[in-house]
Structure 1
Amino acid sequence: MNSTNISDHISLNAASREQEYLSLIEFKFHVHGLAGNLLAVFGLVANVLSIVVLSHHKMRSSTSYYLITLAVYDNIILIAMVIFFNLPFLSTRVTEMESYFHTYMYAVPIGYPLSLAAQMGSIYTTVAFTVERYIAVCRPLHAANTCTKSRARKTMGIILLWVLLYNIPRYFQYTVHLKLNPDNNITQVVRNETDFGQHPIFRHVYLIYFQLFFMFLIPFMILLVLNIALMKAVKRSRQTLQQISSTSRTNENNLTVMLISVIFVFLVCQFPSIIDNIVVAVDPLNRRYESFIYAKFYTISTFMIEINSAVNFILYCLFGKKFRLVFLHIFGLRKFRQRLQYRSTLYRSQTINRGNSHELEVSLV
């Protein structure tokens, strides 16, 4: 009787595990295979549009240089997401793409380190323009020497060099080879860790602790502290503007609010990755891989990274008045541009009247 109960229990557990596994595959297909591919297409186009607008002569500034670089990093991340996540899960349902599922691993030894370098580059670029905005808003006496185009170019060069050097060990982590699958008689490209990739120092020091501190904790603490300081500065500035009208101060506030929105979305979207890295650090025996809950959490965390790389254009349009006007100007949407300018003029005039000022300059371009 007891042996029968144990056998039934094992059968039920096996059936339950199989059902959970099928549910996980379905979940990943909808998140990465469908939503991920659509989001990537939108993000790639949106980031190109951002680069076009930010490169316009009316937008040229040290901040625009940082945002152009961020858009480039984001597009590399989106391409990597398509190659390593979105298309593989889409190919599980699309018969014509079956060969892709068996061959995409060829891209891992080179593409994987590049994608991680791009992710790290986007993180440190966000930190760089946050620091610059903090100096411009909260330490204006230092802004003339610090917030310059040449300083921005040097900073971006240093960041690029840093992320490339930091990720060099990743190029020695994996190797790929062909393997015949006896179940379906199909030759697949299989990824395996090298001896270097399996070395305890590499796995525990570099992959876990260095990753946790240099990729997430240190940058995130800087961003969180400076973003709070920027929000307080904008609040104080708006209180001042109710009494004193200043076009340049208004434009600076608009730029700061736009960047605060970018930083806020960045922190929200990247936060699950911090949790994931902490889980990795406290789970040296890799028990997390037995959990379907963790698998779904990891799927969501990677998808949120993709969201972060795709939505900055929307934030620029929503919170960047100057960006909107230049975008409409470039693409010939003059009626919308004139309507926006009229609304800005009306708002500006109302602000001036409340402040008993006779200043009439309202141009945002």
Structure 2
Amino acid sequence: MVVPKGAELLWQDQIQRHGVNLTFEEFLLNQTNFTIFYTPVPELSEEVSCEEPSKEQMQFYFFVAWWLEGVIQIVLGCLGFIANSMAIPILLSKEMSSIFNRLLTCLAVFDNIFIVCSVLEAFRKHIGSTQLHEYVFGYFLYQFHNMILCSCIYITVVLALERYRAVWRPVEYHNNVNGINPWRRVMGYILPVMVFAVIFNLPKFFEAKFVERTMYREYFDDVQEEMVEVNYTTTLMAPTALRLNVNYVLWYSNVARLLVTGIFPFGALTYLNFRIYTVIKRRRRMTNRPRGAPSAAQKAEEARQAIVLLVIVVLFLICHTLRIILNIHGLFSLKIVRESLKNGCSGVVQTWTLIGTSISHIMLTINSSVNFIIYCFMCTTFRRIFYQWINKLMGFSVLPDVQHSEASIVVEGQSNVRELVPTLVPENELNTHTQLSNNPDLEPNGGNMEMRSWKDKTNGVLMHLLKIRAQDESKVTSDV
């Protein structure tokens, strides 16, 4: 007779230690959160040898999962929630009023909801939960968590699509957004995403059920001076017949989810960002275009938003790659798992898939928590508003205030005086002015009043051009 190993021994230990009377499938269901292929387990054949993790390996998995999901994920989730909450009012400020920033606001809101769901699940699995929490998880949180994950994925795709439309056909895009409420266009993106996420995850409402189980607990009675056994009835979560269906597990839980939440968004993000990069690179090579202040400001804003989007997408791909790998591995391992369960084994073939699932969960939390850092590093306006708010909150200057002066406009726009002057001042006169300003013999103390007068006039023209550019840049930022 082959002795059960690995997870089955851990399951038996839990029964003996806590007096829990539950099936092995229910034990795995609570520990792995619907990530295992479930089917009724027949009697174990004497001729079958189960290839599954040992008890020590399963104990190592639970130890790693407790630290990753039960400690680190909760800490990172709380920090990410605070950061996203600070980013939302900054992105909604008047100075950052644009469709792109409003979409970033929606992404921050959905990221916060995802973080809350992840932290609640971490508490349920590793810290402790009440019976009410179990009911809420089985009937709502499990399904809602998947809906929010799907929404976050496609809001990222929507960000790339919006930037693609703005960059690929700027005139048509400007005409479409000019004169309409920006939130109307944003809702035109967000509402279809939410409806699709709800519809796609509706079957998950039929995956879990609750069954009553008789449990027992032994304790030492000081009066009788002997061990006393107490029986009681409790309710546990278990998979439904739909969740055990072979075709459902294959086509919906593996194939459909791999395509909808993996391959398609990965392909769309790669294509859209490549097209955006191509357009921006081609525009920079066009030297015969007019280079007035509006054009320079618009190109600078397009480049900034494209870079922010690129960093968000790269981080998204990195954090979701392991999830996709595990999904693909699960798809190709279905036959092996099915044979394992058919032979009466646990169905847990490799420990790395369980540990990889815990790492994937924390990577998704990281992806939802670090966008605030991206905004601070990549956007001068965001950083300036954040510094001002912190200084105002503290009552004194704690962080350096990034002033939005004429000089900062030139730096943020990645331009210089020579890009602004040629429309009004010839190049040779600009060179003459540069030489005069660098010649100490022509300073006011040198007595050359004519040269000083020309220098003052040129400085006045330059300051006027910079003010025009600031006005045009603010218009472009509000329209794009």
| TM-score of the aligned structures, taking structure 2 as reference length | 0.65
Alignment of 1:15-164 (within 5 A): 17-84=54-121, 86-88=122-124, 90-91=126-127, 98=128, 100=129, 104-106=133-135, 107-145=137-175, 149=182, 150-164=184-198
Counterpart position of 2:433: none
Counterpart position of 1:168: 202
Contact 1:65 1:153 in 2 (8 A): no
Quick one: higher RCO (CA 8 Å, sep 6+), 1 or 2?
Answer: 2
Size of the alignment, in residue pairs? 349
- What SS is found at the alignment partner of 2:242? coil
* Residue 276 of structure 2, aligned match among 230, 250, 261: 230
- Report the Cα offset of residue 297 of structure 1: 1.3
Matched, 1:282 2:332: yes
Give me the whole-angstrom Cα distance separating, in 2, the residues matched to 1:126 and 1:221: 12
**Aligned in 2, Cα 1:108/1:165: closer, same or farther, shift over 3 Å?**
same
Counterpart position of 2:387: 328
Give me the whole-angstrom Cα distance separating, in 1, the residues matched to 2:100 and 2:415: 27
Unaligned runs of 5+ in 2: 7-49, 219-229, 341-346, 422-461, 475-480
**Counterpart code for 1:190:** L
Counterpart position of 1:95: none
CA RMSD of aligned residues (A): 3.4
Give me the whole-angstrom Cα distance separating, in 2, the residues matched to 1:337 and 1:160: 40
Matched, 1:313 2:359: no
Give me the whole-angstrom Cα distance separating, in 2, the residues matched to 1:310 and 1:328: 20
- What SS is found at the alignment partner of 1:290? coil
Identify the structure with the greater helix proportion: 1
| TM-score of the aligned structures, taking structure 1 as reference length | 0.83
- Report the Cα offset of residue 121 of structure 1: 0.5
- What SS is found at the alignment partner of 2:213? strand
**Aligned in 2, Cα 1:170/1:18: closer, same or farther, shift over 3 Å?**
same
Contact 2:87 2:372 in 1 (8 A): yes
- Report the Cα offset of residue 40 of structure 1: 0.7
Contact 1:104 1:189 in 2 (8 A): no
Unaligned runs of 5+ in 1: 1-5, 92-97
Counterpart position of 1:352: 416
Residues 220-275 of structure 1: CA deviation (Å, up to 9, x unaligned): 1000111222234444556679x946223212221221121111111111111111
Contact 2:304 2:379 in 1 (8 A): yes
What percent of counterpart residues are identical?
Answer: 22
* Greater Cα offset, 181-190 or 55-64: 181-190
- What SS is found at the alignment partner of 2:211? strand
